[in-house]
Amino acid sequence: MVIDLKFDKNKKEKKKINFKVVATGVVAITLIGIVGISIGRFSGKNPLNTGVVLDATATLERGFNNGFTFLQGNFKDLLNFKNNANKIENLQSKNEKLQAEIENLNKKIDEVESLDSLKKSLNFIDEKYQANSISASVVGKNDGNWYESFVVGAGSNSGVKKESIVMNGSGLVGVVYEVSKNYSKAISLLDTKSSVSFKLLKDSNFKGVITQNTNIENKDTYKNKGYLQGYMFDSSYKVLPGDVVLTSGLGLYPEGIPIGEIDKVIEDKNKSLKYVIVKPYADFKNVDDVTVVEPRNIG
CA–CA distance, 262 with 83 (Å, rounded to integer) = 65
Most trustworthy range by pLDDT among 47-61, 122-136, 150-164: 150-164
CA 170 → CA 99, 104, 180, 184, distances in Å?
A: 31, 25, 27, 21
**The CATH number of domain 127-293 is 2.60.120.10:** no
Are β-strands 273-280 and 184-188 bridged in parallel, bridged antiparallel, or unpaired? unpaired
Name the band, by pLDDT with cuts 50, 70 and 90, for residue 12.
Answer: very low
Name the band, by pLDDT with cuts 50, 70 and 90, for residue 57.
Answer: low
Burial of 154 (0-12, 13-18, 19+ CB in 10 A): buried
All residues at 6 or more sequence positions from 287 whose CB lies less than 8 Å from its CB, including other chains = 138, 141, 147, 150, 168, 173, 188
Mean pLDDT of 221-229: 92
Query: Do the Cβ atoms of 247 and 255 come closer than 8 Å?
Result: yes
Structural element, H or E, at residue 73:
helix 51-122
Structural element, H or E, at residue 264:
strand 258-268
End-to-end CA distance of the chain: 161
- Residue-level pLDDT at 15: 46
- Residue-level pLDDT at 19: 56
Helices (H) and strands (E) counted in the chain, each on its own, are 4, 12
Q: Report which of 244, 180, 237 is spatially closest to residue 205, judged by C-alpha positions.
A: 237
DSSP state of 243: -
Would the CA dihedral through 130, 136, 137, 139 be positive or negative? negative
- Residue-level pLDDT at 16: 47
- Residue-level pLDDT at 294: 85
Q: Encode pLDDT of 154-213 as tens digits.
A: 999 999 999 999 999 889 999 999 999 999 999 999 998 999 999 999 999 999 999 998
What mean pLDDT is reported for the chain?
A: 77
- Residue-level pLDDT at 14: 45
pLDDT for residue 25 is more than 80: no
pLDDT for residue 48 is more than 50: no
Q: Encode pLDDT of 93-121 as tens digits.
A: 777 777 777 776 665 555 555 556 656 65
- Residue-level pLDDT at 151: 96
Domain coordinates of the chain in residue numbers? 127-293
- Residue-level pLDDT at 90: 78
Mean pLDDT of 44-56: 49
Largest Cα–Cα distance of the chain, in whole Å?
163
Mean pLDDT of 56-68: 54
Most trustworthy range by pLDDT among 54-63, 121-130, 174-183: 174-183
pLDDT for residue 214 is more than 80: yes
Question: Higher model confidence: residue 249 or residue 41?
Answer: 249
Would the CA dihedral through 170, 172, 178, 179 be positive or negative? positive
> Between 9-43 and 51-122, two packed helices, what is the crossing angle to 10 degrees?
60
- Residue-level pLDDT at 115: 56
